[in-house]
Every structure is written in structure tokens, then in C-alpha cells.
Structure 1
Amino acid sequence: MSAATPLWDPVQYLRHAGHRTRPFTDLLARVPELPGDPPRIADLGCGAGNVTALLTDRWPAARVTGYDNSSEMLAKARVDHEGGRLDFAHADVRTWTPGEPYDLIVSNATLQWVPGHVERFGDWVGGLAPGGTFAFQVPGNFDAPSHTLLRELAASPRWRGRLAGVLRHDDAVLRPEAYLERLTALGCTTDAWETTYVHLLEGEDPVLDWVKGTGLRPVLTALADDPEARDAFVDAYRSALRAAYPAGPHGTPFPFRRVFAVAVKEA
């Protein structure tokens, strides 16, 4: 079992859709005018399609394809959003290469699942039309308690035999300046930055509920055939998260750093 092949639960993921969508809308706000008329757009790692649909709001005439390797996510995306000039297709971001010129290749919270993703940038920028844009955002919180506690628990004597190599490490994404350097070297005019959002989460154990949709998926997948072990792991992780993210009078503050890049190919 690898960290790149978790089983996804669209319903769980979408429980925090509002907070998860905000970085994408902030990313799109920095994407300039696209050269194509109408534009051709690819969304890499489209998931349940809820943010892919926002691309058609921004560019109503565009032909948009969302790509993902999760059949569960694609099924949800097709039911909820497919139609008109928006469609969805199966593809693995680790190997996907543009088969036609794109005016925008965008990726929302996906590349952290792709080891060595910067090595794919050349193919993707090469697949842009002149003046086209490659834009992405990734979580930059791998040194936050939500992740360090998860890795520490998975590496503890009880679990390391079953969970070794399952989780991503703190080098899953680069710093903004490293992305800036890589994309500028490919001939792009690049804007890279980071933002820390402080989400106010509600409900019981809301941070656990959040990570059940994302970072915890590899563990849940690895232990799926042993419900007793899975529940024991989740209970231990829940206790650690409660201590790290105490509830306040208005909810549970959850700081979440994100890293962004918008790279425009020379026209």
C-alpha cells in the first residue's frame, strides 16, 4: 500500500467543502486572461468535481476536463457536475501528459500525493498553448500537529509493522521559492506565495473529521481489512488531536498553511 493510492470517500471529503474551496478561489483570482477563444482547461486531480465546476463559472465558454484516478470521486463528479462543456476522465497525474494544447492546466490540493511532482512540470508547461497558465495549490502543513502526530503514531511499535511507508513525509511539497525557481527555469513568469488560513471548525473532534477526508485516507485504506485495528488507531489519533487542537468557546481553530503558484508561459 502506498501513500499515492488511498481509497477516497467523496461524502467525507465534501463535509468541509467550504473551507477546502477557498484556496482554489484565491488561486483562480491570480490566473490572468487565457489565450484561447474558447479556452481549453484541464483540472488535474479533480476529485468530486466541485471546484472543477468553478472553472466553468469563471470561463463559461471553456471546454473543461477534470482528471482523477479515483473511480469513487469521478462517479460523484459525473453525477453532480458533468454536462455541457464540462466532462471528467480517468487519468493518473503521475503519468498524465497533455494530448492537446491547453490554455490552463490547474491542480487543487493534489500534487502533494505525487512524489517528485516537480519533474512533471516540464511536460505540463510544454503542453500549454503560448500565453497559457499552469496554476496549483498544495497544503503546506506537513509539519503541523495534524500530520506530525499521525506520522509519530504510525511509526510507534504497535503500528510501524503495518503502516511503514504508508504516509507522506514533510518533504511532500516544496517551499514557494523552490516552485518559483523551477517554473521560472522553464521559461514562465511565475507568481508563488503562501497563506495560512485559520479555519474555525465546528462539531465534536472536527480536526479528526477533516483529516478523515484527506491525510488519514492512506491509514484507513491500509487497515480497511481489520476494522478493530482501524478503530484502535483512530481512537489513539483522536486523543492526540484533542490535546493539540483544543476546542474554544466558538469552535476549534485549525491553522492550515497553503502554497500557491501561477506560472504563465511566454506568449
Structure 2
Amino acid sequence: MPHWDDRQYLKFADKRTRPARELLARVPLEAPARVVDLGCGPGNSTALLRERWPQARVTGVDSSAAMLARARQDLPEVEWVEADIARWTPASPPDLIFANAVLQWLPDHASLLPRLFGLLAPGGVLAFQVPDNFNEPSHAWMRDLPGPWQVIVAGVRTTPRVARAADYYDLLAPLAAGVDLWQTRYEHVMKDAAAIVEWVKGTGLRPYLEALDSALRTDYEAAYLSAIDRAYPLRVDGRRLFSFPRLFVLARRHTD
């Protein structure tokens, strides 16, 4: 996992939080007692959970101490847990496991998702959202950018970790009382190509930059900016449209 920077991540907090709001709006729970925000980051999605269910016990779980420090600062009343979410186990079964834009960092969803689903209380819900942009220009150019860094970055991410919607359905439907899933392609209005680069520096681009020494990193980032400038052309008002697909899944456990 890369090292996380809460300030970089939150530069686009409103746009990053929008999918969490839309996922939360579809969660079919009235008054859950125990809610977990898995991969909570700096707490922007946790705040939504706290707002919707103020009486619930809300726990944020993340592997990044830096992100959790920011979350504690903004939401001191929430329980924060530093843990490897691939191995995390709750003290008691939660009614909701909410995972906003985190599971794409973890391998082997075929094992991970049934394990997380099995941690739920009866009638509980697993709700997650993942970026589905492995083959979008923003992410393809991270891997395919020609230059002296190619051998180094080749091993950062070689295969997509996000499966097809149908694969998630087939994985969870035999276990669940019901599965709801959908895809959304956001068209984020961005000031310029540099703003798109700033966005991905907070997430997908970080491990590529961290793999390079300072000299190569500077040249790589300049070449990447040039590629993004070509891939996301000017619109009529001088801005850019950053096309960003996401996949949403909710699965509810049987009540007995």
C-alpha cells in the first residue's frame, strides 16, 4: 500500500465524497446499532455515516496512521482502529460494513468479499464502491508511459483488481438475501490537466511516484502531465472533463 497524504486526498473532497453519499443513500437499514467504515481514510465517508445514524456505534478502520490522525482530529467521538483491512475482524458483528473506494487496493476479492460478508450480523449489509478505471487514460498512462522509468513502474500494478459487476453478483448472490449493484460514470469538471494529475496523485498515481527516485519522478510526472493533457482535451469553456467510472455493490445478509 502507498503512503497516504490526507491533505492531497482531500483537495477534491466534495467530488471524492459524492460516490459515498450515493452508495449510502441505497443502504436499506433503518437503525443499525453497529456501523463500520472500512478503509475510512481521513473520515470524510465516516462523517456521512455518523450524520445518518447518530445513535449508532460508528467505527472507522484504516491501515494509514496519517489518515486516521486527520480523522480523529475532525471526528473525535468516533472509534478509530488502525488495522490491515484484509485481516481485520470486528469485536462484534456489525450491521453495516461500508467500504468506499478501498477494496480496489486489495487482491483476491473472491476470498475477501465472502469473508467480509460473513462478519455481518443477521440482516446486515455489505456496501462497497470501487473505481473501475484500470483501463481509463488516467490509469493506463501510469503504466504505459514511455521513458527510462518503464522497468521500475512495470511491477507497480500489472492486473486490475476490480472484477465485472456480473462476477460480484455471482460471488455474493448465493450468500445473500439480495444484491443490488450498479455502475456510474462521473464526468468531473476540472480546471485543467494539472488538476487531474493532482487528483490521481492523492490515490492511484502515488505508488508509481513512490517507486521512483526524485530525478526520475520529476521527469515521469512531467511526461504524465503531457499525456493527460492530450487524453482529456479542452472543452468549450477551457476546462477538462475527467471521466471516472465506478462500480457500486450492496449485499444483505439473511436475517437468520
TM class, shorter-length: over 0.9
Superposed CA offset, 1:190-231 (max 9, x none)? 0011011111012561111111111101012222xx211111
Partner of 2:223: 236
Tell me whether 1:17 sits opposite 2:13 in the alignment.
Answer: yes
Change (3 A) 1:67 1:119: same
When normalised by structure 1's length, the TM-score is 0.91
Matches for 1:136-151 after TM superposition, within 5 Å = 136-151=128-143
Question: In the alignment, which residue of structure 2 is the partner of 1:88?
Answer: 80
Identity %: 47
Structure 2 residue aligned with 1:164, among 130, 135, 154?
Answer: 154
Rounded Cα–Cα distance in structure 2 between residues aligned with 1:150 and 1:203: 18
Choose the corresponding residue for 2:95, options 94, 97, 103: 103
- Kept in 1: contact 2:143–2:154 (CA 8 A): no
Q: Pick closer, same or farther for the CA change 1:14–1:54 going to 2, 3 Å.
A: same
**Structure 2: gaps of 5 or more residues:** none
2:239 matches 1:251: yes
Counterparts of residues 197-236 of structure 1 (less than 5 Å): 197-203=186-192, 205-223=194-212, 226-236=213-223
2-side partners of 1:219 and 1:253: how far apart?
23
Task: Decide whether the 8 Å contact of 1:40 with 1:104 is kept in 2.
Answer: yes
Structure 2 distance, partners of 1:46, 1:106, is 9
The one-letter code of the counterpart of 2:243 is P
Deviations 1:21-50 (A, max 9, x none): 1111110111012564xx101111100111
Rounded Cα–Cα distance in structure 2 between residues aligned with 1:76 and 1:129: 29
Amino acid at match of 2:113: F
Q: Which residue in 2 is equivalent to 1:26?
A: 22
1:47 and 1:114 mapped to 2: Cα distance? 15
Task: Report if the CA contact (8 A) 2:6-2:42 is conserved.
Answer: yes
Residue 35 of structure 1 contacts residue 103 of structure 1 at CA under 8 Å; is this kept in 2? no
Q: Could you list the runs of 5+ residues in structure 1 that have no partner in the other structure?
A: none
Matched AA of 1:46: C
Q: What is the TM-score normalised by the length of structure 2?
A: 0.94
Take 1:125 and 1:94, find their aligned partners in 2: how far apart are those partners?
13
Shift of 1:163: 2.1
In 1: Cα distance, 2:172 partner to 2:100 partner: 17
Paired with 1:182 and 1:95, the residues of 2 have a C-alpha distance of: 19
67, 70, 74: which is aligned to 2:64?
70
Q: 1:82 deviation in Å? A: 2.2
Q: Secondary structure at the match of 2:59?
A: strand
Deviation larger for 191-200 or 115-124: 115-124
Q: For 1:147, what is the secondary structure of its paired residue?
A: helix
Cα distance per residue 1:140-192 (max 9 Å; x no partner): 11111001111102xx46113322311253x2101112111111122341001
CA–CA distance in 2 between the matches of 1:256 and 1:95? 29
Corresponding residue number in structure 2 for 1:181: 170
Distance 1:168 1:62 in 2: 40
Q: How many residues align?
A: 254
Runs of 4+ in 1 over 4 A off after TM superposition: none
In structure 2, what is the Cα distance between the partners aligned to 1:9 and 1:229? 21
2:181 is the alignment partner of 1:192:
yes
The farther-off stretch of 87-96 and 12-21 is 87-96
Amino acid at match of 1:251: R
* SS of match in other structure, 1:24: helix
Selected match of 2:124 from 107, 123, 132:
132
